[in-house]
A and B are shown apart, each in its own frame.
Chain A
Amino acid sequence: MISREYEFHAPKTLNEALSLLEKSGGNAKLIAGGMSLVPMMTLGLAHPDAVISLNKVPGLDGVKEDGGVLAIGAMTRHHVLKTNPLIAQHAPLLAEAAKYVGDVQVRHRGTLGGVLVHADPAADYLPVCLALGAQIKLQSAKGVRTVEARDFFKDIMTTSIEDGEILVEVRVPKLPAGSGSSYQRLHRVEGNYAIVNAAAVVEPGKKKGRVALGGVGPTPVMIDVSAHIASGVSDDALRRVSDAAFAAAENAYGDLNGDAKYKQAMARVYAQRVVRAAAAQAQ
Chain B
Amino acid sequence: MKKTIQITVNGKSYSRDADTRQVLADFLRDELRLTGTHIGCGTGSCGACTVVLDGRTVKSCCILAADVDGQEITTIEGISTGAQQLHPIQEAFVEFQGLQCGYCTPGMVLSAMQLLKENPNPSEDEIRHGISGNLCRCTGYHFIVKSIQEAAKRLQASK
Which residues on A are within 8 Å of B, measured CB to CB? 1-8, 10, 31, 33-35, 38-39, 42-43, 51, 53, 55-56, 79, 102-106, 108-109, 190-191
How far apart are B125's CB and chain A's nearest CB, in angstroms? 11
Q: A35-B62, A104-B111, A105-B133 are in contact. List 11 more A-B contacts (CB 8 A).
A: A2-B21, A7-B1, A8-B20, A10-B67, A35-B44, A38-B63, A39-B61, A51-B20, A79-B56, A104-B129, A190-B129
In the assembled complex, the Cα of A1 lies from the Cα of B30 at a distance in Å of: 10
In the assembled complex, the Cα of A4 lies from the Cα of B1 at a distance in Å of: 11
B133 and A106 form a contact (CB under 8 A): yes
10 shortest interchain CB distances as A-B pairs: A103-B133, A8-B20, A39-B43, A2-B21, A108-B56, A38-B62, A105-B133, A109-B58, A105-B59, A103-B132
In the assembled complex, the Cα of A53 lies from the Cα of B20 at a distance in Å of: 12
Cβ-based interface call for B130 (8 A): yes
Question: Closest chain A residue to B41 by CB distance?
Answer: A39
Which residues on B are within 8 Å of A, measured CB to CB? 1, 3, 19-23, 26, 42-44, 47, 50, 53, 56-59, 61-64, 66-67, 69, 111, 114-115, 129-130, 132-134
Q: Which of A1, A43, A102 touches B26 (beta carbons < 8 Å)?
A: A1
B64 and A105 form a contact (CB under 8 A): no
Q: A31-B67, A106-B44 are in contact. Are A5 and B1 (CB under 8 A)?
A: yes
How far apart are A111's CB and chain B's nearest CB, in angstroms? 12
B23 and A38 form a contact (CB under 8 A): yes
Q: Which residues of B contact A10 (CB under 8 A)?
A: 66-67, 69
How far apart are B108's CB and chain A's nearest CB, in angstroms? 12
B21 and A6 form a contact (CB under 8 A): yes
B111 and A6 form a contact (CB under 8 A): no
Q: Which residues of B contact A33 (CB under 8 A)?
A: 62
Q: Which residues of A contact B69 (CB under 8 A)?
A: 10, 56
Question: Closest chain B residue to A37 by CB distance?
Answer: B62
B3 and A8 form a contact (CB under 8 A): yes
B133 and A104 form a contact (CB under 8 A): yes
How far apart are B2's CB and chain A's nearest CB, in angstroms? 10
A105 and B47 form a contact (CB under 8 A): yes
How far apart are B140's CB and chain A's nearest CB, in angstroms? 16
